[in-house]
């Protein structure tokens, strides 16, 4: 016999247990990525990944949104966790939702950015092995689709300054 807090609806592939709903169909995961750009030196803040996939590759600082936070809060948290950098003025750039952009799972990333006048001190933390300000021309290959994201952002910056 089912308790009052456990109800199943088979037709919709939904069940409820202890006032939480669970769905049997797959759902995408939400991630954030941050572009921190130094306009005077044309450098970008990147992290070197400590873990697979793309272990050892440079990447934009970012990660998964947690269930209790807003997407903008996830961007601020991930930036601080991976680089030690606390910013309060991140702006939303755009989202990227290519189906196989992450080999682990179906993810949709929301990209935030800030443009700074000069470099600030950063350090590697969380799942980053190294954190560094890199000149755009020195960047070869980035993890995931971060090269595409960065190229679209640089195009956006050029269009803003025409």
Closest to 103 (Cα-Cα) out of 61, 52, 67: 52
Active site annotation includes 135: no
Would you call 149 exposed, middle or buried from its count of C-beta atoms within 10 A (0-12, 13-18, 19+)?
buried
Let me know: does 60 contact 139? Beta carbons within 8 Å.
no
Q: Single out the catalytic residue among 69, 119, 130, 135.
A: 130
Closest to 83 (Cα-Cα) out of 31, 119, 39: 119
Let me know: does 87 contact 76? Beta carbons within 8 Å.
yes
> Among the residues of the chain, which ranges form H helices?
71-83, 146-160
By annotation, the residues acting in catalysis are: 130
């Amino acid at each position: 016999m089912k308790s009052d807090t456990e109800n199943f609806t088979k037709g919709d592939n939904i069940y409820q247990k202890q006032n939480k709903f669970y769905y049997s169909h797959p759902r995408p995961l939400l991630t954030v990525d941050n572009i921190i750009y130094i306009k005077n030196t044309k450098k970008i803040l990147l992290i070197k990944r400590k873990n697979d996939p793309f272990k050892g590759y440079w990447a934009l600082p970012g990660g998964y949104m947690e269930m209790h936070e807003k997407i903008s809060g996830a961007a601020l948290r991930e930036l601080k966790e991976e680089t030690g950098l606390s910013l309060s003025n991140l702006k939303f750039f755009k989202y990227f939702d290519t189906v196989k952009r992450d080999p682990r799972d179906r993810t949709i990333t929301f990209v935030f950015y800030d443009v700074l006048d000069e470099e600030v001190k950063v350090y590697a933390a969380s799942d980053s092995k190294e954190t560094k300000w890199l000149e755009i021309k020195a960047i070869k290959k980035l993890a995931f689709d971060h090269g595409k994201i960065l190229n679209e952002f640089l195009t956006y910056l050029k269009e803003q300054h025409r």
